[in-house]
Amino acid sequence: MAAERDLDLVLLGATGFTGGLTAAYLAEHAPEGLRWALAGRNPAKLAAVRDDLAGRFGDRLAGLELLHADATDPAGLAEVAARTRVLITTVGPYLEHGEPLVRACAESGTDYVDLTGEPEFIDAMYVRYHAVAERSGARIVHACGFDSIPHDLGALYTAQQLGATGPVTMRGVVRSAALASGGTFHSALGQFARPRQLRAAATARRQIEPRPSGRRARAVGGRPSRDPKLGYWLLPLPTVDPAIVARSAAALPVYGADFRYSHYAGTRTLHYAVGGAVGVSALVAASQVGPIRRWLGNRVPQGEGPSEARRAKSCFTVDFVAEGDGRTVHTRVSGGDPGYTETAKMLAESGLCLALDDNPPSAGSVTTAVAMGDALTARLQRAGIRFETIAG
């Protein structure tokens, strides 16, 4: 169905901060001839975004089509989804706004890409729409920003470098000098406030999700410790990334026969590791109290972000250490500002990859490693995100 659409790609949410960065990236880097459009609920704001893009990147963008789409209007979303091969959305928190668009894409056979790092949303969408998307041929690909592309594709790259067939243990260690986006902060607050619902969604998914035959793949919780190879103090991270990596490993044999993955933040000193642990615990506790949660949310508004100069000073690294078949491999994924600039790049390149590249066959709710794999890694490398083998 998607091959007959009159648009290749639609971006929903371009009037927001990260959506605006994504629109600018597409305007600058999309190949000539790509049929793409902007969608949103406010025509005047969309027109202002289009005018800005035309002024910065060329008059050819003055004719960029604008589509009306409101997250509260399922019929309108279905109309937009039916016109395009790929739909990118930056409209979150996804627990509040995301389901109607996932449903529209799953039913119409349209590939879907988002930025969510919300485990409950990802699991609930799998339960409700994975089978629907499999039948239609749609690829529903969540977490296509800093959550979780560097970790998912980095783990895939590391597994490929290791080439083990037996048991594999792998850890990812994240370091970043950047501000978390307002959307990420609000999503985290929302998830921390819903532990019961989060567990219920995960349980419902486990009850229906197939397991690999003859292999195992799982995320395992680590403990605060000092990494003997990297020299960092490690703080386990309560993010969606380990689950995403484990799902890719369950689907692809390259990760070995028995794959275990742990995920950490890395700090140079014990002082920062302890401070980070205390900070995360305090945020989880505060999210349980409605007035405090709302106060924190008001302190970090959505739709706004740091200046270009501030983003230019930000960067990230994710180190991976994998052991298997008697070998140890150390790899690294690194880039610039993760919360905004690189996230917009990853999101846009994911949409372009689904629309234009020769990807592995897949359908349903799938990870970036399963849906795009090496094709997306190559795109990101050309765009300046580094994947390198340090030792091994």
pLDDT classification of 305: cutoffs 50, 70, 90:
confident
CATH number at residue 14: 3.40.50.720
pLDDT, tens digit, for every residue of 164-191?
A: 999 999 999 999 875 555 666 655 666 6
Q: Are residues 130 and 157 both part of a single domain?
A: no
Q: Are residues 27 and 162 both part of a single domain?
A: no
Q: Are residues 273 and 164 both part of a single domain?
A: yes
Mean pLDDT of the chain: 90
State yes or no: pLDDT of 94 exceeds 50: yes
State yes or no: pLDDT of 294 exceeds 90: no
Number of domains in the chain: 2
Q: Are residues 160 and 226 both part of a single domain?
A: yes
Q: Are residues 154 and 87 both part of a single domain?
A: no
Q: What is the 3-state secondary structure (H, E, C) of the chain?
A: CHHHCCEEEEEECCCCHHHHHHHHHHHHHCCCCCCEEEEECCHHHHHHHHHHHHHHHCHHHHHCEEEECCCCCHHHHHHHHHHEEEEEECCCCHHHHCHHHHHHHHHHCCEEECCCCCHHHHHHHHHHHHHHHHHHCCEEECCCECCEHHHHHHHHHHHHHHCCCCEEEEEEEEEEECCCCHHHHHHHHHHHCCHHHHHHHHHHHHHHCCCCCCCEEEECCCCCEECCCCCCEEEECCCCHHHHHHHHHHHCHHHCCEEEEEEEEEECCHHHHHHHHHHHHHHHHHHCCHHHHHHHHHHCCCCCCCCHHHHHCCEEEEEEEEEECCEEEEEEEEECCCCCHHHHHHHHHHHHHHHHCCCCCCCEECCHHHHCCHHHHHHHHHCCCEEEEEEC
State yes or no: pLDDT of 289 exceeds 80: no
For 375, half-sphere exposure in the C-beta direction (CA atoms, 13 angstrom radius) is 17
Q: Are residues 276 and 316 both part of a single domain?
A: yes
Q: Are residues 295 and 186 both part of a single domain?
A: yes
Q: Are residues 137 and 170 both part of a single domain?
A: no
pLDDT, tens digit, for every residue of 187-225?
A: 566 666 678 899 999 999 999 999 999 999 999 988 889
State yes or no: pLDDT of 281 exceeds 80: no
Q: What is the 3-state secondary structure (H, E, C) of 4-61?
A: HCCEEEEEECCCCHHHHHHHHHHHHHCCCCCCEEEEECCHHHHHHHHHHHHHHHCHHH
pLDDT, tens digit, for every residue of 325-370?
A: 999 999 999 999 998 999 999 999 999 999 999 999 999 999 999 9
CATH number at residue 331: 3.30.360
Q: Are residues 102 and 242 both part of a single domain?
A: no
Residue 377 near residue 386 (C-beta atoms within 8 A): no
Q: Are residues 202 and 325 both part of a single domain?
A: yes
Q: Are residues 320 and 258 both part of a single domain?
A: yes
Q: The tokens of 10 are what? A: 């639609």
The model carries a pTM of: 0.91
pLDDT classification of 237: cutoffs 50, 70, 90:
confident
Q: Are residues 194 and 314 both part of a single domain?
A: yes
State yes or no: pLDDT of 278 exceeds 50: no
- Cβ neighbours of residue 36 closer than 8 Å, sequence gap 6 or more: 7, 8, 9, 10, 11, 26, 30, 64
Residue 35 domain boundaries: 2-146+342-377
